[in-house]
């Protein structure tokens, strides 16, 4: 088995952009914040930094990368007060690109840049999308759109959604019926983020190759590193460990991220 001791995971800087518009009810906004906390908590063991912002007709930065506290972030998210107003995600994305993914805000050179946009309905500023998405692409910011509710069933709304998400849309858009269902997509979103981050492995049979999520082991899909039948977190480096038998121990510096 190959032994590699110097491999480290690729750092990722992740911004959550929350929908604070009036169409989101107060209890729904709380559910949105709970979802953000859950995803953040799950990815803390990796080389990640997080920032939190909110948009309506204006955009508010609540926590920049250089303000993120791994032990106190939950209280900061809980303290976010909904702004109210219209739904202008194009404006919000433009402000994130302009002010958040920069060294003065604590963004790290060489880190993967990820923006997660949550929205609940048809927007008022879709004309801004070509410009702001081009700016985001120019800064190599990978965008994921999480859309909530039935407002996206109209063709106009679908066109807007497809314009703000990178292609292929099927890889960058998550849809749920309501805010209560947000946690149903949590594992899938985390899987996307982990694959972007490219978690490498050591020891066993992988030779330092990156984890592949999800992978099949003992007939079950695993979305994160696991300790099943091993004393350290490990993963498969192909989509099917039962078939290929290729895997390694996960390079995790800040703790153990486990799941089945």
- Does the fold of domain 199-250 match that of domain 12-196? no
**pTM, to two decimals:** 0.74
Q: What is the pLDDT of residues 186-207, one digit of tens each?
A: 888 887 776 665 666 777 665 6
What does the block give as tokens for 218? 């003992």
The answer to which of 31-35, 170-174, 211-215, 255-259 has the lowest mean pLDDT is: 255-259
Going by pLDDT thresholds of 50, 70 and 90, the confidence category of residue 174 is: confident
Going by pLDDT thresholds of 50, 70 and 90, the confidence category of residue 252 is: low
- What whole-number distance in Å separates Cα of residue 207 and Cα of residue 224? 19
Sign of CA dihedral 176, 181, 182, 188: negative
**Superfamily covering domain 199-250:** Fibronectin, type II, collagen-binding (2.10.10.10)
Going by pLDDT thresholds of 50, 70 and 90, the confidence category of residue 152 is: low
pLDDT at 141: 92
Q: Does residue 87 register a pLDDT over 70?
A: yes
- Is residue 125 within 8 A of residue 89, CB to CB? The reply is yes
Going by pLDDT thresholds of 50, 70 and 90, the confidence category of residue 3 is: very low
- Is residue 141 within 8 A of residue 101, CB to CB? The reply is yes
Which one of 3.90.1150.10, 3.40.50.720, 3.20.20.70, 3.40.50.410 gives the CATH number of domain 12-196? 3.40.50.410
Q: Does residue 71 register a pLDDT over 50?
A: yes
**Cα separation values, 85 from 142, 177, 222, Å:** 27, 22, 41
pLDDT at 198: 61
Spans of all domains in the chain: 12-196, 199-250
């Amino acid at each position: 088995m190959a032994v590699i001791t110097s491999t480290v995971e690729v750092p990722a800087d992740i911004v959550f952009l929350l929908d604070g518009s009036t169409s989101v009810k107060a209890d729904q906004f709380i559910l949105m914040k709970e979802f953000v906390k859950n995803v953040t908590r799950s990815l803390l063991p990796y080389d990640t930094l997080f920032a939190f912002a909110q948009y309506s007709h204006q955009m508010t930065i609540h926590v920049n990368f250089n303000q993120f506290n791994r032990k106190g972030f939950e209280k900061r998210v809980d303290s976010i007060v909904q702004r109210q107003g219209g739904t202008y995600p194009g404006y919000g994305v433009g402000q994130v690109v302009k002010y958040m993914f920069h060294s003065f805000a604590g963004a790290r050179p060489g880190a993967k840049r990820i923006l997660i946009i949550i929205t609940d309905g048809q927007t008022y500023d879709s004309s801004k999308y070509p410009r702001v998405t081009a700016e985001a692409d120019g800064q190599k910011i990978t965008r994921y759109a999480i859309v909530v509710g039935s407002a996206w069933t109209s063709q106009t709304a679908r066109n807007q959604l497809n314009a703000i998400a990178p292609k292929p849309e099927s890889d960058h858009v998550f849809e749920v019926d309501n805010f209560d269902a947000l946690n149903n997509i949590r594992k899938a979103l985390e899987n996307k983020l982990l694959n972007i981050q490219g978690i490498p492995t050591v020891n066993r049979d992988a030779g330092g190759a990156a984890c592949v999520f999800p992978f099949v082991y003992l007939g079950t899909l695993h979305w994160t590193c696991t300790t099943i039948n091993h004393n350290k977190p490990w993963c498969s480096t192909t989509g099917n460990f039962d078939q290929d038998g290729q895997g390694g121990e996960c390079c995790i510096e800040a703790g153990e991220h486990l799941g089945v």
